[in-house]
Structure 1
């Protein structure tokens, strides 16, 4: 785990060196730095990891010696009845004396299937905790990017809804003017007014969406942003990421070898297997090597002021005979859970390959979609320019320009969302492939300036 903490420290230093002051926009690096310190999900995962790693020494302790010691200090009062001589009268003797007893014992398992299974299970439980922490560390990168782009997209959506509302408002004003001059019916005017009112209501929803996305990001950062508009936007120069390999089979091999979730499922299988062995081991004897030393002073009224020391070394054999069927039942139960863990592993593996293929396709097709929408944006931009020239020439009216601008904003919104999805799919592809690290995140963060 030391290497994971080292990665975090190095990454934090890199982020700190690039941090901007509070007056500037919050970039993706800074958002991650804040989430690394304050995100409650990640902090919980860190403590869960620390607790889980203790399973290793806990399991190892089952095969190591156990040393125990005890000490007793007592004040004794005793009454002894007896004759001083044969046939004489009984006489009571009262005794008041202190006594003490100390004991030290060491037990070393020699043969114990239960102890050996606990040892191996502790290793598997620690491995599970490490795999879960690696997944949660990678997941934080994805969650920050997702929440960050959700805010940006909500702003894009707000801009689009504003343009749509303005366009419908101009349509309504034009219809109202035409109706006043007798060139349009009341129905046309009412339809235009209804469209404007609906667009205005959608604008309210878009504003709420911005606030909701901002609050979600705020909860991860641990402190509220002054405004959603303070986030650094996606840069205009969008370059596609060069994948380390373009073959899906290569990604599949990497995922099967390194994916954190699959490693966690493998550890779960091993944990269930050792749980079965623990319970099955209750059928077998346990052999321990035992050594002890004891000392006692004035242990009885017949040994007042006498001290006895005793040392012994021996072998202890415990043989289970009958437990009312509990051992068989627990063994059968543990074996069923072991078979369940094996089936769960296969489910996780199949889901991994399916999701890996999905993210791989999203990265490949995302590049094509970005290129297509970029061309569509150029065409929409030229259309807006042409409409403005037509208005100047008297061939078109302002409503035509606004409708063209609405189409342009719509295309820009779709293009931005496609770019966000492309970057998220890239990180998810790396995560599923088991290779997501700070370098991959830096590649994505460079797009937001």
Structure 2
């Protein structure tokens, strides 16, 4: 069972999942795809933002409903007043001014219940549609997270496989170069053999460096999703099980998948609700032509409100209907209706376009899922044939029928076949989830099923990080004959 190391993680979160007791000592438990998905649910910044976006979207329903509920308002006013009162007291006294100081207050409670208000009713239905659109969009973000985790997870594993294959090719060429020198020293080889092998070796060294750079980038992408910090001990990732078998879409019926996408794709469902919200905007605009009827109840109390009511208190209560009928708004309502209708048609057109894109994507992913199974089988045969070719080439060289260049080509063909096979296997896992995502059917159970295809625990002698002394020593210890073993079989330093 092979396990590779990925970038640093939140070790406290994974402590329980990274260690287990095993006979003969402690063995580290590798993070499975399902473990990574669960961690991403809590750590991925994009998904956490989607959670908050969904929480905000749910409020549209409550905001829309609030327009149909009673509105209660309380007002209160208290003041200290000074009033100068001037009266004419006759020709003898003239104007007489008196100054009054007094306190006044007024308070009122008013309840307003809409009875008929088409604007408010449209707002209510629009809020329902907006909340449903937000919920559907959140479902899409959740499915997208599962796909992103799977893609990043397999990219890291593939990067480790590429490194292992590149190092094996480099080590085989190093041994071949030594052999070329020995033959040349004995007079049994040529300078051309040495130059050919050295050129291939230089290229292989560059490919190892490139593969390590690819691993660093892949680990960073996975760490960005899992919320991992930099530095510290690497996290263990489980690799594909030796019993892995490529599988295609079930059912293998494109009609089923396109129908499922139209009915279940959450992004399409979000746009359906968006179209409904746009339709309610038309109702809100047309409400500008309709009357509004409210039930109004009020109770008020005021004292010394004016100078003529000093030391007088009034208590007033009333219940009644209030009707407002719009007569003319300068053409604004008609313009708003036209604008809302245009936006509705725009939303419908965007939905139609997106529906076509989704069905096209489903067909594309369906074809890729089918072809990925065929590719895995073809690359398995190609890898087997390349191993047989390498063995036959060695025998032919010993018999004097082939030359060094033929051996180099056979070795390169074998390593290429193994790289293609590893990539095809990971692609098969990802394309099945991409098809489910395109159809809107991707669930945690699908991630669980995919995770079951990966090994669960770290085995003794697991690969070290690229560049560590232990791994470099193991690479140097590889014999040329190791290149003839199938990819995935135990090699020196591996179990």
Is TM (by shorter chain) over 0.5? yes
The aligned residue for residue 261 of structure 2 is 255
2:316 counterpart residue number: 310
Which residue is equivalent to 2:160? 155
Q: What TM-score do you get using the length of structure 2 for normalisation? A: 0.79
Q: Equivalent residue for 2:349? A: 343
Which residue pairs with 1:55 in the alignment? 60
Range with bigger deviation, 41-50 or 400-409: 400-409
- Contact preservation (8 Å) 2:247, 2:373: no
Structure 2 unaligned segments of length 5 or more: list them: 1-12, 21-27, 456-495
Among 301, 308, 329, which residue is 2:335 paired with? 329
Give distance in 1, aligned partners of 2:60 and 2:70. 18
Distance 1:21 1:85, change over 3 A: farther
Q: Structure 1: how far apart are the matches of 2:399 and 2:180? A: 22
**CA offsets, 1:189-222, max 9 Å, x none?**
6565444333322322211110000011011111
> Per residue, is there more helix in 1 or in 2?
1
Greater mean alpha carbon deviation, residues 36-45 or residues 193-202: 193-202
Q: Alpha-carbon deviation of 1:434?
A: 2.6
Distance 1:300 1:359 in 2: 80
Change (3 A) 1:53 1:66: same
CA positional deviation for 1:238 = 1.4
> In structure 2, what is the Cα distance between the partners aligned to 1:86 and 1:70?
47
Contact 2:246–2:376 (8 Å) recurs in 1: no
- The separation in 2 between residues aligned to 1:399 and 1:27, in whole angstroms, is 42
Of the three residues 358, 361, 366, the one matched with 1:355 is 361
Residue number in structure 2 paired with 1:219: 224
Contact 2:246 / 2:428 at 8 angstroms: preserved in 1? no
Shift in CA distance, 305/224, structure 1 to aligned 2, threshold 3 Å: same
**Residue in structure 2 matching 1:128, options 121, 133, 151:** 133
Q: Distance in 2 between matches of 1:442 and 1:215?
A: 24
C-alpha displacement of 1:442 = 0.6
- Higher alpha-carbon deviation: 418-427 or 243-252: 243-252
- 2:282 is aligned, of 273, 276, 279, to 276
| Contact 2:129–2:274 (CA under 8 A) maintained in structure 1 | yes
2:368, 2:91 → 1: CA distance?
107
2:98 pairs with 1:100: no
**CA shift for structure 1 position 253:** 2.0
Separation (CA, whole Å) in 2 of partners of 1:379 and 1:183: 28
- CA apart distance, 1:311: 1.3
Match of 2:46 among 41, 46, 51: 41
TM-score by length of 1: 0.86
Maintained 8 Å contact 2:295/2:321: yes
Q: Is contact 1:159–1:409 with CA below 8 Å preserved after alignment?
A: no
Q: Does 1:114 align with 2:112?
A: no
**Offset at 1:130?**
0.2
Find 2:424's aligned residue among 418, 422, 428: 418
Q: Deviations over 1:91-124 (max 9, x none)?
A: 2221111111111111122222211111111011
Task: Report the counterpart of residue 489 of structure 2 in structure 1.
Answer: none
Q: Please state how far the C-alpha of 1:159 moved relative to its aligned partner.
A: 2.5
Q: CA deviation at 1:276?
A: 2.3
Deviation at 1:239, TM superposition (A): 3.3
Identify the residue that residue 17 of structure 2 maps to in structure 1.
Answer: 19
What is the aligned partner in structure 1 of residue 244 from structure 2? 238
Give the gaps of 5 or more residues in structure 1: 1-14
Structure 2 contact 139–266 (Cα < 8 Å) conserved: yes
| Higher deviation after alignment, 254-263 or 157-166 | 157-166
Q: Select between 59-68 and 205-214 the one with higher mean Cα deviation.
A: 59-68
Number of residue equivalences: 434
- Is 1:205 the counterpart of 2:210? The answer is yes
C-alpha separation in 2, matches of 1:328 and 1:196: 77
Structure 1 residues 233, 305: closer, same or farther in 2, change over 3 A? same
The SS at the match of 2:19 is coil
